[in-house]
A and B are shown apart, each in its own frame.
Chain A
Amino acid sequence: GESVGLHLPTLSVQEGDNSIINCAYSNSASDYFIWYKQESGKGPQFIIDIRSNMDKRQGQRVTVLLNKTVKHLSLQIAATQPGDSAVYFCAETMNTGFQKLVFGTGTRLLVSP
């Protein structure tokens, strides 16, 4: 399938640390990327997005970096809080017409108080 993730990587951090979650995307034609947070028993929740004509975008406590040369995305969370504990997915798509989201593997973030 397009989303492979039999083994979910885990990132464990302490409250207050900065977290960096990485993602490799698959399609060089993708021009729109989204990070989602998914808590147990819930659907994915939008965090931040970035278009391919940008290499960095900042939100509240979050920053997304895009490196098109190596097809890599990262999500940086500043001053991580216990409420940030969840599974994080990157998704790629082409922002034209009837397109689908292709999700990455996912990373579980565990934040200790």
Chain B
Amino acid sequence: DAGVTQSPTHLIKTRGQQVTLRCSPKSGHDTVSWYQQALGQGPQFIFQYYEEEERQRGNFPDRFSGHQFPNYSSELNVNALLLGDSALYLCASSPQTLNYGYTFGSGTRLTVV
């Protein structure tokens, strides 16, 4: 049974560009959350999707947006990239709205130059 799958694993972008990161949740999970992890820090919550709607959002600007598809997979989009957006972006899935059962993917390492 596959866990949470994220793509791509690594990405290099230039300031001002836009990026799309993808996540496939663990089988049986329908809720997807995204986290940003800067080097040497703990993950910070970006937003959470359930039933194709954003249900909860952290302290991130509108440049960060997302989408959830009918098959529960999700995308994270970041516009007008800044150097400070360089981080590991983690996707986590869970069943329904329950917080236990969170499973994290291995992340996408985004470098903005």
Contact = CB atoms under 8 A, between A and B. Distances in A.
Interface of A: 1-8, 32, 34, 36, 41-46, 49, 89, 91, 93-95, 97-106
Contacts of A102: 45
Interface residues of B, number: 27
Given A34-B102, A98-B48, 10 more contacts: A1-B59, A3-B44, A41-B106, A43-B107, A44-B43, A100-B48, A101-B33, A103-B44, A106-B41, A106-B42
B58 to A, nearest CB: 6
A99 B56 CA distance: 7
Determine chain A's interface SS by DSSP, over half rule.
Answer: loop
B43 A100 contact: no
Contact of B42 (A41, A94, A97, A103): A103
